[in-house]
């Protein structure tokens, strides 16, 4: 996971997501379920408070299909 959460983006792999919705239970302000029962993440890149990021990290860890990723969007060193 990125160390600098202000430079992170949440991504859900729709091909892996099976709609268990644990992420929605853990971070409802970030995740939602589509009509196809696939989770999605709000595009608020780095704009959440620490408590919300803690919930997102819990959702990443709880996903049974490991369909949620935190991607580093920082361009430092590139």
Nearest 5°: the CA angle 4, 76, 10 is 45
Which CATH number fits the domain that encloses residue 30? 3.30.70.20
Give 76's pLDDT tier (boundaries 50, 70, 90): low
Q: Does residue 49 belong to any structural domain of this protein?
A: yes
Q: Does the residue 2 lie in any domain?
A: no
* Residue 17, in any domain of the structure: yes
Q: Assess contact for 62 and 52: CB atoms under 8 A.
A: no
Per-residue pLDDT tens digits for 4-62: 566 678 999 999 999 999 999 999 999 999 999 999 998 765 578 889 999 999 999 99
Would 60 be classed as within a structural domain?
A: yes
> What is the count of structural domains for the chain?
1
Residue 77 inside a domain? The answer is no
Model pTM score: 0.81
The tens digit of pLDDT for each residue in 53-69 reads 999 999 999 999 999 99
């Amino acid at each position: 996971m990125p160390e600098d959460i202000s430079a992170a983006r949440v991504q859900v792999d729709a091909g892996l997501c099976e709609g268990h919705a644990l992420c929605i239970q853990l971070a409802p302000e970030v995740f939602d379920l589509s009509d196809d029962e696939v989770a999605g993440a709000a595009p608020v890149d780095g704009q959440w408070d620490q408590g919300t990021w803690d919930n997102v990290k819990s959702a990443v860890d709880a996903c049974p299909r490991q369909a949620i990723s935190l991607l580093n969007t920082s361009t430092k060193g590139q």
